[in-house]
């Protein structure tokens, strides 16, 4: 089956008059879960489904253990797993404590064997499924947020997506912009943000 893709407008500065640029992105329609993987592997080998699931569970635990040791994990033919860290914006080597450091993401760098296999086998086809974000300018987004916060105290990324008709990526980009501009404040954790209006914005006087 070919990889379905579509073209998406690339982020641009709304204050600059530039020709709109586009990039290609995979249109995801299905998530392969562990049951799918177990079933598929069992068809190609003599291991039982229980044995395959046990190995995959142990692999997950082994990844966690080694990443927590600060190590990179290399799986031949697949790639490297390693951590990237987060620190406060005003971090200072002299005063910032270790308690302020967190895990930003588990990063992955593909092995050349995996890359080559993908390049040799992948086929592409333009998708008929359209999941593009609505095209709202910053003023239209602000107007929607004014109305939203008139009736609600807090905002999550999911609710912001529905409010504006955005995809997850576009919603995250605008939420980060709104925080950088001092319009929204995250009152929860970095990995589970909940937003409320900053003082002077969206009815918070």
Domain interval for residue 63: 3-126
Per-residue confidence (pLDDT) for residue 132, from 0 to 100: 61
Within a domain: 41: yes
24 and 65 share one domain:
yes
Cα separation, 21 vs 9, whole angstroms:
6
SS3 170: helix
**Mean pLDDT, the chain, integer:** 88
Residue 29 has a pLDDT of 64
Same domain, 41 and 76: yes
Residue 97, domain member (yes or no):
yes
- 101 with 151, same domain: the answer is no
Give how many domains the chain has, as a whole number.
Answer: 2
| Whether the Cβ atoms of residue 2 and residue 123 lie closer than 8 Å to each other | yes
15 within a domain of the structure (yes/no): yes
Give the Cα separation of 16 and 8 in Å (integer). 19
What is the model's pTM? 0.59
Q: Does residue 156 sit within a domain?
A: yes
Q: Quote the CA–CA distance of 74 and 57 in Å, as a whole number.
A: 17
Written as six digits, the tokens of 3 are 């990889």
Low-confidence ranges of the chain (pLDDT < 50): none
Q: Judge if 119 and 166 occupy the same domain.
A: no
């Amino acid at each position: 089956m070919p990889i379905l893709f579509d073209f998406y407008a690339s982020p641009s500065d709304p204050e600059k008059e530039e020709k709109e640029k586009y990039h290609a992105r995979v249109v995801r329609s299905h998530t392969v879960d562990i049951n799918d993987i177990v079933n598929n592997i069992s068809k190609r080998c003599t291991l039982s489904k229980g044995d395959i699931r046990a190995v995959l569970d142990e692999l997950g635990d082994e990844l966690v253990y080694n990443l927590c040791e600060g190590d990179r994990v290399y799986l031949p033919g697949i790639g490297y797993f390693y951590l990237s860290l987060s620190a406060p914006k005003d971090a200072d080597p002299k005063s910032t404590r270790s308690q302020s450091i967190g895990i930003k993401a588990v990063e992955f760098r593909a092995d050349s064997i995996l890359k080559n296999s993908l390049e040799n086998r992948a086929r592409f086809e333009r998708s008929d499924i359209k999941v593009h974000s609505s095209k709202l300018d910053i003023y239209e987004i602000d107007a929607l947020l004014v109305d939203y916060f008139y009736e609600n105290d807090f905002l999550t990324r999911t609710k912001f997506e529905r409010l504006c008709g955005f995809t997850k990526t576009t919603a995250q980009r605008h939420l980060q912009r709104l925080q950088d501009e001092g319009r929204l404040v995250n009152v929860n954790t970095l990995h589970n943000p909940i937003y409320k209006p900053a003082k002077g914005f969206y009815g918070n006087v």
